[in-house]
Structure 1
Amino acid sequence: MTDANVADVLKELAALEDPAVRAVNERHGDDHGVNLTKLRAVAKRLKTNQELAVGLWRSGDSAARLLALLICRPKAFGREDLDQMLRAARTPKVHTWLVNYVVKKNPHAEDLRLTWLADPDPQVASAGWALTSDRVAKKPDGLDLPGLLDQVETELADAPDPLQWSMNETLATIGIHHPGERGRAVAIGERLEVLKDYPTSPGCTSPYAPTWIAELVRRREG
């Protein structure tokens, strides 16, 4: 299907629409009804196609945007392209995939991280914190970890979703990957009790930072 165009792909995605899948997704704030395994199969067949990816993104359809993020070339986007895309990604799955699959692989990731962290829009700021968490784990040199903990301690409890989730992840990531800051990270989590009572399925790790830190440290060091 190398000559696929946007209209063809949108038609195919419409045929994959499943009301049951949509109902589940809508409970999590998403607005598409395509099974993600089937979506990935379409992406595998289409292969990388930046032009098609751009066209699918511009359609505004969430399933099409998810597909676009799977077939695009992450490094082909300019800084302003990604900034505009992030601000247009208003559903959780599109937002998360854009950050994880595209922005993290783009040379403008650090510049965008700093810009988004300071943005007053919680949705945008959450992307900045997601990128910060990734850098804490992979490239911490140059980061002010005590300063990040200061900010988390001050702002986490009252932060709205999804900003609270991203800040909490950064708190846990600092505790997991940086033993020198672990005690303080755990203490902040215990004092604030953010997500302490969040329902967690069997076999999954609680998002409550002290529990998350303890479990991941046990796995890493055990």
Structure 2
Amino acid sequence: MNFEMVMQELEALGKERLKKMYLANGAREPLFGVATGEMKPLFKKTKLNQPLAEQLYATGNYDAMYFAGIIAEPNSMTEADYDRWLDSAYFYMLSDYVVAVTLSEADIAQEVADKWIASGEDLRMSAGWSCYCWLLGSRPDREFSVDKLAKMLEQVKDTIHEAPERTKYAMNQFIYTVATSYLPLHEEAVAAAKAVCPVEVKQDKGKSKFLNALETIHKAEARGKLGFKRKHVRC
């Protein structure tokens, strides 16, 4: 399938209800409102295709950008490529669920995510922490340094309440993911959750949302989900 054919299929799959939901979450025009599950049959027609992914991502169309992440070839992308993609990721559903997800399947994932975490920019930091969540939830424990992750937990514990708003979500998720998917630091993550909960996130119109990693950890534990690893990160 070529670029024009993919765009036509995405447009045909669009639903007004989903379009409104995406817009309410921060997406902007252009977009069609395609359910992510609807993209799986389309992927079978395109397979992995980095040149096509680049064409789609460059459109600025949310659905095309999302599908670009599905068909991208993570190890064919350089650090500069990931930075370029993140520069165009204008809200968290792109930074955390497209760019960070794609990066998590690349060999350079930790190296790039570390730089994003240190950037001081909200969506970059959020993408960096989110990438670690995808990594921890899918890769064997042996691929990580326990000392490094322990220091990252301490960083979250010490800075989460002063972090930018979107980064708070990703940091909170990092605590949860370490507790549930990286068992060597389960107790330390539970202690971090106790220390920081609840985490207040300020939303539009002055409203606040309160995040509670400890509560979600306990729920995962009750469902027997400790040690959970995904077979695949991307759909």
Class of the TM-score when normalised by the shorter of the 2 chains: 0.7 to 0.9
| TM value normalised by structure 1 | 0.80
Once structures 1 and 2 are overlaid, which stretch shifts more, 119-128 or 212-221? Answer: 212-221
Normalised to the residue count of structure 2, the TM-score between the two structures is: 0.76
C-alpha RMSD over aligned residues: 2.8
- Aligned pair partner of 1:214 in 200, 212, 218: 218
3-state SS of the aligned residue for 1:56?
helix
Change (3 A) 1:89 1:157: same
SS in 2 for 1:10: helix
Paired amino acid for 2:159: E
Question: Cα 1:59–1:165, aligned 2, differ >3 Å: closer, same or farther?
Answer: same
Question: Please, which of 128, 132, 148 is the counterpart of residue 152 of structure 2?
Answer: 148
| Whole-Å separation in 1 of the counterparts to 2:108 and 2:185 | 28
For residue 125 of structure 2, what is the aligned residue in structure 1? Answer: 125
Q: Which residue of 2 aligns with 1:7?
A: 4
Structure 2 spans left out of the alignment, 5+ residues? 202-209, 228-235
For residues 1-222 of structure 1, the aligned pairs below 5 Å read 2=1, 4=2, 6-31=3-28, 32=31, 33-95=33-95, 96-100=97-101, 102-135=102-135, 138=141, 139-141=143-145, 143-177=147-181, 181-194=185-198, 208-218=212-222, 219-220=224-225
State the Cα deviation string for residues 154-176 of structure 1 (Å, max 9, x = none): 21123233211111112223333
- Larger Rg, first or second structure (1 or 2): 1
Q: What is the SS of the residue equivalent to 2:165?
A: coil
TM-superposed CA distance for 1:89, in Å, is 1.2
Count of residue pairs brought into register by the alignment: 210
TM-aligned CA distance change 1:116 to 1:41, over 3 Å: same
Decide whether the 8 Å contact of 1:50 with 1:73 is kept in 2.
yes
TM-superposed deviation, 1:177: 4.9
Q: CA deviation at 1:40?
A: 2.6
Alpha carbons of structure 1 residues 63 and 190: separation in structure 2 relative to 1, 3 Å: same
Q: Structure 1 residue 94: deviation in Å?
A: 2.4
Letter in 2 for 1:94: L
- The residue identity in structure 1 corresponding to 2:132 is T
Report the Cα distance in structure 2 between the residues aligned to 1:133 and 1:155, rounded to whole angstroms.
Answer: 18
Tell me how far apart the structure 1 counterparts of residues 221 and 23 of structure 2 sit (CA, whole Å): 34
* Greater Cα offset, 72-81 or 166-175: 166-175
